[in-house]
Amino acid sequence: MNPKPFTNFPRHRFSGTWITHPMFSGLAPLNVFHRENEPLDYSHPEDKKNLHFLFRKKFSVTPDKRCRYLIDFSADDYARIKINGRTAALGPAQGYYFYYRWNRVDVTELLRTGENMIEAEVYYQGLINRAYQSGNLRSGLVLDLLEESPEGEQRLLLKTDDTFETILLRSRLKAAPGRIWGYDTQYPEDYDSRLEPTDSDAVWEPACINPNADYIFASSPSPSVQFYERRPEIKKRQFPGQTILFCDFGEEITGTLKLKARGTAGQTVTILCGEELGREPWKVRFDMRCNCRYEEYWTLKDGENLLEQFDYKGFRYCSLLVPEHAKILEISAVVRHYPFHAEDCVLKTNDPVLSQVFDLCKRTVQYGCQETYVDCPTREKGQYLGDLTITSASHLWLTGDGRLLRKALEDFCLSVFFCPGMTAVAPGSLMQEIADYSLQFPIVALRYYEFSGDRDFLALCLKACRNIRSYFRRYRRPDGLLEQVSEKWNMVDWPENLRDGYGFPLTRPAIGPGVHNVINAFYIGFLIKMDEIEQILGCTRPQRKQEIRRLTDAFQNAFLDRKRGIYVDAELSPAPQADSASKNPAPGHASLHSNILPVYFGFYDRSCTETLTDFLLEKGMCSGVYMTWFQMKALCRLGQYDAVYHMITSTGENSWYNMIREGATTCFEAWGKNQKWNTSLCHPWATGPISVLIEDFLGWRLDGTRGLCHLPDGINAEIRLPEHFRR
């Protein structure tokens, strides 16, 4: 591993030392970095999974009204920081230890004159998944409390060291084997209030300084997520021996529950959360279609009880099954997401369907962006590069904030050092690889450059592009086309039933012999975008354009059916015949996908413009929501704006409005709940209408300039953009 391109940057240094619980003191980190299809020599102790530790210290301060007070902190895996019992921050963003993330939060309003208490609940999960950079036996906390004068001078008031106390929170119960949600994504949070620590507990111990802490901290802090409480609408139903409280938060949210109750020791409240209702209108479908079973148990102590859940989930509804003689006093959700202000981007239009679709996508971005661009807040919580192609554009337009995108690009650049062709998910300890996604990296890098104008960072992204190119070149056949890219999944589209019968076997991990269209179209597009980057940076290579021309010619020879004027999925043979023994279509099969990308990237045969246009229009919306973004962009390139507008505002089965018809308040992973066996009901990769509307119909560019408007006759639409675009 060689993180040199990043660790040469200025790095942040804490005054505090990295502290940990004695259970983790002196443990050497486990290596979790590997290629997806290579075996990992790895063993993790079961007793060191799903652990919550509390660190605390009392300190005195006399706040100066002229100053502000800041906490710089980081933790592994994750922490909730409180001052005097009030939550100050959640974090940090997940990251690789050799460019680890940290947060800075203003705590001025939380301090009081005299004695104060700082507490940090630190969670170590211990699983290999997309959500956490965990499973590596790295656990602990580092923190500095600073006083900053109006002139910007800083004075250290408090730092982590072995004078902090720590305790294992036994009230957060260990989950039974098999009770893990999603793809080993999250443990349920059963809680026993009787086991909460008290000041008199003898089991408080001095925190340990971990000599194996080898973190290199990023040069600047990552933004902390926003969090705020929201009350639900509550309906009460009485049954013998039990009361059921049904809670509706009005829309899909991302967050945790905060509950207050009164009861007697040993009584148990059952907590059921979900995105949908069950068969009865007051029951929650907690065994969710997205492969999460949101069922948790809260055991009460005598008197008043407080439950603050730790790890977020995606849900709208909650049912509390309360035993007789116990009483729920307060119910709220602590909603959380990346900083987002709904009033920053507002669409006004005379088309009610367009308005509803835009707002649907807007809410999806709001709740789907945490410290990273998560694919969904439920079963995976991973930052996927292909999802980033769509979500990052939506997020930039809605917020005018490029920090989350820069952080994502850094994450993927870093992954090149243990996966030369780039991972599909970063960060995270699960090393998933998807060829289509790696080849989209320069699309996103150029987007950030257009937004920020940062040439130095673009040059760093170019280094990653060159690594990716070197990796894929090993699969070239003599004419330059890629053949059997078998180390990485060739996805084409997802779910697979929305691939429009793609005529090439896409088995995992290996794929069939020969060449196929989509991976080569993405490869040519990758080189085209890489060439654009080199032109911007003034390091154009003549051989790059020659390489693109040769590859484009080879692509036309392999996939362009000149009789029909469209592209096929698999290489044309002299006399294509159907293979009766195969489930795949005849070699001459032409899917929607194979005809989208040549147009999107602009290397299609211009003599076939009319037939390609007709084909893309006739096919309609038969792909997944992910590939539909490329289709809309391709059709706009062909000048088919009215057709694209009708795609955005369609009310057919495959449409954004169909999601609304099925009760969506955030975009689904597919066009309908039943199009996929484990459909996520909050999936930001479906938010393509935002960038298509703003860029292609309203003419805005990410550098703040504006071109032509292409709205259909009779449609009025005005958009208020974030201040970044109005300078």
Planar angle of CA 83, 88, 89, nearest 5 degrees? 135
Residue 442 zone, left/alpha/beta (φ > 0; ψ -120 to 50; rest):
alpha
**Please, are residues 480 and 547 in contact by the beta-carbon 8 Å criterion?**
yes
**Which residue stretches of the chain have pLDDT < 70?**
1-9, 201, 281, 509, 574-587
State pTM to two decimals.
0.95
Residue-level pLDDT at 578: 42
E-strand ranges in 135-263 read: 140-148, 154-159, 165-168, 191-192, 205-206, 208-209, 226-230, 233-239, 242-263
Judging by DSSP bridges, how do beta strands 103-106 and 114-124 pair with one another?
unpaired
Q: Does 323 sit behind a cis peptide bond, omega within 30 degrees of 0 on the bond before it?
A: no
User: Tokens 């036994």 label which residue?
Assistant: 170
> H/E/C letters for each residue in 114-133?
EEEEEEEEEEECCCCCCCCC
Angle of helix 352-368 relative to helix 385-399, nearest 10 degrees, comes to 110
| Dist CA 63 CA 120 (whole Å) | 21
Domains, in order of start, for the chain: 4-164+207-221 (2.60.120.260), 228-337 (2.60.120.260), 342-726 (1.50.10.10)
* Beta strand pairing call for 295-299 and 191-192: parallel
Give which of 690, 716, 718 is closest to 350, Cα–Cα.
716
Please name the amino acid found at residue 534: E
Amino acid at 352: P
Q: Between vectors from CA 400 to CA 80 and to CA 339, what angle results, nearest 5°?
A: 15
pLDDT, residue 510, reads 72
Coil, strand or helix at 78: strand
Residue type, 138: R
Q: At what angle do helices 625-637 and 592-601 cross, to 10 degrees?
A: 50
Alpha helices, H only, 253-375: 352-368
CA–CA separation, 428 and 408 (whole Å): 12
Instruction: Report the distance separating Cα 522 and Cα 429, nearest Å.
Output: 26
SS3 268: strand
DSSP 8-class letter at 721: P
**Euclidean distance between CA atoms 464 and 240, whole angstroms:** 64
3-state secondary structure of 180: coil
CA–CA separation, 402 and 396 (whole Å): 6
- Give the tens place of pLDDT for each residue, 293-327: 999 999 999 999 999 999 999 999 999 999 999 99
Do the Cβ atoms of 681 and 290 come closer than 8 Å?
yes
Question: What does the pLDDT read at residue 586?
Answer: 57
* Burial letters 656-675, b for 16+ CB under 10 A, else e: bbbbbeeebbbbbbbbbbeb
pLDDT given for residue 462 in this prediction:
97
Please state, in angstroms and as integers, the Cα–Cα distance from residue 689 to each residue in 95, 363, 696, following that order: 30, 13, 10
Report residue 318 as tokens: 């909650």
Question: 145 to each of 15, 73, 107, 116, 255, how far by Cα in Å?
Answer: 10, 9, 9, 12, 27
Axis crossing angle, helix 625-637 with helix 385-399, rounded to the nearest 10: 70
